[in-house]
Amino acid sequence: MIKFIIRGILRDKSKSIIPIAVISVGVMVTVMMSGFLEGVFSDVINQNAKLDTGHVKIMTKPYAENKEQLPNDLALLGINELIDSLNLNYPDLIWTPRIKFGGIMDVPDASGNTKLQGPGIGLAISILSEESGELQRLQLNKSLKKGRLPKRSGEIILSDNYATKLNISPGEKITFFGSTMEGSMVFQSYEMTGTVEFGSPLMDKGTFIIDIRDAQNMLDMENGTGELLGYFKDDKYDDQKALVIAENFNAKFQESKDEYAPVMFTLKDQNGLRESLDMGDAFSGIFIFIFILAMSLVLWNTGLIGGLRRYNEFGIRLALGESKNNVFKLLLIEASVIGLIGSIIGTSLGLVFCYYLQEVGIDISKDVANSTIIMPSVMRAYVTSDLFYIGFIPGLFSMLFGTALAGRGIYKRETARLFKELEV
C-alpha cells in the first residue's frame, strides 16, 4: 500500500510539492535553530566551566559574597588538606586551585623605568603540573598566538590584546605591581613567553596567566587559594549530580562557626547561569512549539486546498463504497509519507547549515567587546546526534495534524448526495 501511495505522490506532484517544500523549510529551520541554540548554550557552559566556574567551585563564604572584588584576603587556606578530603569523599571529581588577582603590569624601558603600563587581571593556574589537566582544560596550546607556554617558574603569558596594548613581545621582561593577600605591596618581574587568545572578550581584554605556585609565593598565599574548582572526570557537566555533591558538602559546614568556612556552588549557580540557561531552554521549547503550530496551520490550509481539489476523488471513492475511515486513514498515511520526505530533505539541509555554522560560526566579538560576562566571541552551532531526528517530530506531526484537520471534511460527506454532487 505504501508503494501505491508513494507512486501516487510522485505522479501527482501538485498534491505533494507544496507540503514537502513547507515541511522541508520548517524542518530545516528547526534543525538549524536547535543546533545553533545547542551550540551557543554548550559554549557558554563550557567556557564558563573552563575559565571561571568549574563544574563546582569552593570558596569561603565571605569571598563568595564579594567575589567580583577578587578579595584574596578572604581566601581559602589549608587547601592541601581540603583537597585530600575532597578526593576521598567525591572521587568523581578532579580538584584544581585557581587564584584571580588584580594589579598593574609594567613594561620597563632599557634603564628599568616605566615604558608602558596597564591594569590587568591575573589568573594563576597549575600550569606547570601536568596532572592538573589545566593546560588541556583551558586549551592553552590551541589558544597560543605567539611564543610558547610557560615551562618554569617566573614565566608569564598574556592575552594577545593585552600584550599588544602593552607593546610587549615574547622574551621581554614585565613587572607585576599589586598587593599580597594581606595588602602588602608586591613587585614581581616575569619573563613573558607568549600570548594567548581565550575567545572570550572579557578575558581577552587584560588577562595574564602565571603558575599557581608563583602566585602563592608572590601573594603570600602559601597553601591557599581564592577558588577551588572541581571538574567531573568525564569532563561532562551533570547538573543533578553537581547539585547533590554541593548539597552534601555544604551540609557539613552549615553549622560551622568559622567565618571562613568553605561553601560549594554548582556551575549553574554561578554567574546567573541557571536563570539564563533555563530561560534559553524555555525559549527554544516555545520556539519549537510555535513553529509546529505555524507549520500545522500552513499545512492545514494546504490540506484544505488539496482536499477541495480532491473533492471529486474522495467523492468517487466514497461512492464506490470505500469507507470514510479508510479514506481518512490513507490520507494520513499519505501525509506521513509526505512528512517523512519533507523531514528527510529538511534535516539534510539543516545539518548542512549547522555544519557550516559549526565550522565558521558568527563572529560577535565587536558586539560583546565590553561584555562583563564570560561568553564566546564566535557563536557556533553544534552538529549533535539529536539533530538527526529532532526535525522529524515537527515535520511529521505538523503534516499529520494539518491533514487531520483538513480531512475532517470527509466525514461530513453524505453518501446519499454523492451522485448528485458528482453529477454522474
Q: Which residues bind other proteins (CB under 8 A)?
A: 62, 71, 73-74, 104, 106, 108, 112-114, 117, 119, 175, 177, 179-180, 182-185, 187-189, 260
Identity of the residue, 44 or 82, whose beta carbon is nearer to other proteins in the bound complex: 82
Cβ 187 to other proteins, closest distance in Å?
4
Identity of the residue, 62 or 409, whose beta carbon is nearer to other proteins in the bound complex: 62
Identity of the residue, 185 or 251, whose beta carbon is nearer to other proteins in the bound complex: 185
Identity of the residue, 140 or 221, whose beta carbon is nearer to other proteins in the bound complex: 221
Contact 256, 62 (CB under 8 A): no
Cβ 278 to other proteins, closest distance in Å?
34
C-alpha cell at 16: 505533494
C-alpha cell at 189: 618581574
Identity of the residue, 74 or 327, whose beta carbon is nearer to other proteins in the bound complex: 74
Helical residues (DSSP H) of 265-391, grouped into ranges:
273-309, 311-319, 324-359, 387-390
Contact 193, 208 (CB under 8 A): no
C-alpha cell at 272: 546567573
Identity of the residue, 154 or 285, whose beta carbon is nearer to other proteins in the bound complex: 154
Identity of the residue, 106 or 214, whose beta carbon is nearer to other proteins in the bound complex: 106
Label residue 279 exposed, middle or buried (CB < 10 Å: 0-12, 13-18, 19+). Answer: exposed
Comparing C-alpha atoms, which of 324, 331, 296 is closest to residue 16?
331
Buried b (16+ CB within 10 A) or exposed e, 309-342: ebeeebbebbeeeeebeebbebbbbbbbbbbbbb
Identity of the residue, 26 or 224, whose beta carbon is nearer to other proteins in the bound complex: 224
Residue spans of beta strands (DSSP E) within 50-184: 56-60, 76-77, 93-108, 114-125, 144-147, 155-159, 173-179
Cβ 121 to other proteins, closest distance in Å?
14
Comparing C-alpha atoms, which of 300, 306, 229 is closest to residue 270?
229
Cβ 262 to other proteins, closest distance in Å?
15
Cβ 226 to other proteins, closest distance in Å?
13
Cβ 209 to other proteins, closest distance in Å?
20
Cβ 183 to other proteins, closest distance in Å?
2
Its sign, for the CA torsion 291, 296, 299, 300, is negative
Cβ 78 to other proteins, closest distance in Å?
13
Provide Rg for the chain, Cα atoms. 31
